[in-house]
Amino acid sequence: MSTALLTDRYELTMLQASLADGTAHRRCVFEVFTRRLPPGRRYGVVAGIGRVLEAIRDFRFGEPELAYLQENGVVDDVTLEYLANYRFTGDVYGYAEGEVFFPGSPILVVESTFAEGILLETVVLSILNYDSAVASAASRMTSAAGSRPCLEMGSRRAHEHAAVAAARAAMVGGFAGTSNLEAGRSYGLPTIGTAAHSFTLLHDDEEAAFASQVAAYGPDTTLLVDTYDIATGVRRAIEAAGTGLDSIRLDSGDLGVVAREVRDQLDALGAAGTRIVVSSDLDEYAIASLAIAPVDSYGVGTSVVTGSGAPTCGMVYKLVEREGSDGTMTGVVKASTSKASVAGRKSAARRLDAAGRAVEEVVLAGADAAWTPEEDDLRMLHVPLVRAGQVDQRYLGADGVTLAAERHATSRGELGPSARRLSSGDPALPTTHVRL
């Protein structure tokens, strides 16, 4: 499906005006960055790069899109002709998906003509702002969970298409599975899910519901035990499935207290191997509060798909360098109060100490795509994503999600212990700007 109309009208009006005055084909450098992290956050997580590359690949104006623009008088005939032949032929560099980022980090750099680059602004920001917000929240949750897996269950709390993106982004942030089947199909994600309270209520009693589920799936299933009385539900679950029952789920009550009571009951019944899954409006703070509770995994819904209070990352897409009338490239800057930008194409690196711990983010203005640091303690952060219009296929589909999740685990692992604190504080790394 074409992504060409997933944009704001003013992208096309700027295109029309620049085609008319001859500036549309000037070489330009655009940059995506955020000026600040949401309150209380120590780092952000880049997510959605794979989806951005899909959007660039599919950014085509076919007959339906052109007909809509013409019928509604959005642009003139000259612009329609340009759009009919639109193909992005430029280069894109950026942070690898899963990398952590900080205020001022040049997350994505787009090098193209003005016409080619400006049309991508809205769809790029739509994807990166949402996916990165979800992945950033997911990372805080998986960090708080430690070795216990987190499972994404938030589809019903989001737009149906956003739910798929959220499931993907949660996996980038370290989640182990999702309830969303389309996300599973599209990105090769492991899917999870057994039964809701309605299944228990459908049957004449709890025993019949558990017996039905075990008959269908065997003891390798999860029985939801809090529809009625929890202690009775646990006993009935073991009676139905035996002491080899895989797990039970708790979705209400004081989860820390209830989990301890249920663990004691399961052990007394001889079901020491039966795991406890908890859900019910969990966020990173609730997960952290359950750190010493006998919980085996967490099911998270609303909080992860809404960014846990920070539904966007505040990323912007700004022109930082352009070709002048004399053919030379010139850095440009926005000087608006509280919205200033830094001129020039940038690259970025992360400084590591002798133990491999990250100590500083280094942003280099004036660095070209081929820039490499002379200092051994700097790790380059930009990777090529699109070259001459050709998308790097490694970052797409299931393989792209796997790469992103691995990258995030490594990147977060470089941060110090303070980065994992949930209390308010400064970004985990200071950022130094250097002009070459």
* For the chain, the helix, strand and coil percentages under 3-state DSSP, each to the nearest 5: 40, 20, 40
Residue type, 197: H
Return the exposure string of 237-246: e unless at least 16 CB atoms fall within 10 Å of the residue's CB, then b.
Answer: bbebbeeebb
Question: Is pLDDT above 80 for 367?
Answer: no
* pTM (predicted TM-score): 0.96
What is the pLDDT, as a whole number, of residue 375?
Answer: 82
Q: What percentage of the chain carries pLDDT values higher than 70?
A: 100
Mean pLDDT of 41-46: 97
Q: What class is the 9-134+310-435 domain? A: alpha beta
Name the nearest CA neighbour of 276 among 242, 234, 219.
234
Q: Give the C-alpha separation, 400 to 52, whole Å.
A: 12
Residue 91 CB: number of other CB atoms within 10 A?
A: 18
- Span 66-86, pLDDT tens digits: 999 999 999 999 999 999 999
Residue 191 CB: number of other CB atoms within 10 A?
A: 16
The domains of the chain are located at 9-134+310-435, 193-300
Q: Give the C-alpha separation, 216 to 209, whole Å.
A: 11
Q: Give the C-alpha separation, 223 to 214, whole Å.
A: 9
CATH number for the region 193-300 comes to 3.20.20.70
Q: Does an H or E element contain 2, and which?
A: none
Name the nearest CA neighbour of 90 among 30, 11, 15, 33.
30
Mean pLDDT of 384-407: 97
Contact 59, 1 (CB under 8 A): no
Q: In the chain, how long is the greatest CA-to-CA distance? A: 83
